[in-house]
Amino acid sequence: MPVDRADVDGGGDDGDAQAAVDRARAYFERFAAEYDGAARESGWRLNGRLAAALADVGPARRAVDLACGTGETLDELARALPGAEVVGVDLAAAMVDRSARRVPRATVVQADLRDFLGEASDGWFDVVTVIGGFEFTPDLPGLLDQVRRVVAPGGNLVFTYEPALDGWPPQSRRIETNLGSNGLELTTFRWEPDEVNAGFAGWETVRSALLAAYQRDDVPTVYAWHQYRRPPGPPTPAPATAPAAPMSGGLSSPGSS
């Protein structure tokens, strides 16, 4: 059942939305050291799918993994696109440090995705990935507006999100705040497919599927996996100065912290 966006993003209150972002940052700052072990324990199943998804995208100049966490997906992205400049972005400094150490050739940036995307040039990235992470944003449709803008003509966007599923009680609530194993609260936001897919008119749907992402207490959590290709167009002009605008926020690299 569709729900008004205001019911999801805190009634339109920017303070409530920012509070959700701040909770996510605090949660993952404290959870970074345990994150990979917890993912293995829960049977996280989405790693390893990206290589197959990117097998046919062709050469890429620049690629970015948003909400890169400890760098599992960033590493997949770097391996799948050996000739590309690879960037990772995450809100939590502890996650950024782990990503930078795991993928030495990547540039890893600590930033709020909204700020990073706001500074990025139009059509700058040939490949954009977000595998896990969108479930913590209080305005996914709005954030996707920014994400689509930075995908190059003919480029690929691969992302997941938690759908709101009627008839599946574990994911029927649009907003859910739980206490994590690190003692901090984390808010999950779920979205109707129509809300997420509305902005992709004219884009090619490469793949769209529902997948069991992980399992906790014998109950699977379902993610939607989407791969879209932006329609071809004129080449993206290079900015007048280098490096690209996104590099301006909180750069971290191996050994810098």
pLDDT tens sequence across 102-134: 999 999 999 999 999 999 999 999 999 999 889
Angle at 186 between CA 181 and CA 188, to 5 degrees: 125
Q: pLDDT tens-digit profile of 4-14?
A: 333 443 334 56
Strands 185-189 and 251-252: unpaired
Is residue 257 situated within a structural domain?
no
Is residue 79 situated within a structural domain?
yes
Domain count of the fold of the chain: 1
pTM of the model: 0.83
Give the pLDDT of residue 2: 30
Q: Mean pLDDT, the chain, as a whole number? A: 82
Is residue 178 situated within a structural domain?
yes
Structural domain containing residue 141: 5-252
Q: What is the CATH number of the domain that holds 180?
A: 3.40.50.150
- Beta-bridge partners for 226: 159, 208
Is residue 119 situated within a structural domain?
yes
Is residue 51 situated within a structural domain?
yes
Residue 229, number of CB atoms within 10 A of its CB: 18
Is residue 85 situated within a structural domain?
yes
Torsions phi, psi of 61, nearest 5?
Answer: -85, -45
Q: Is 113 within 8 Å of 140 (Cβ atoms)?
A: no
* Residue scoring higher pLDDT (148 or 5): 148
Q: Is 138 within 8 Å of 161 (Cβ atoms)?
A: no
Is residue 112 situated within a structural domain?
yes
Read off the tokens for 222.
């379902």
Give the pLDDT of residue 42: 55
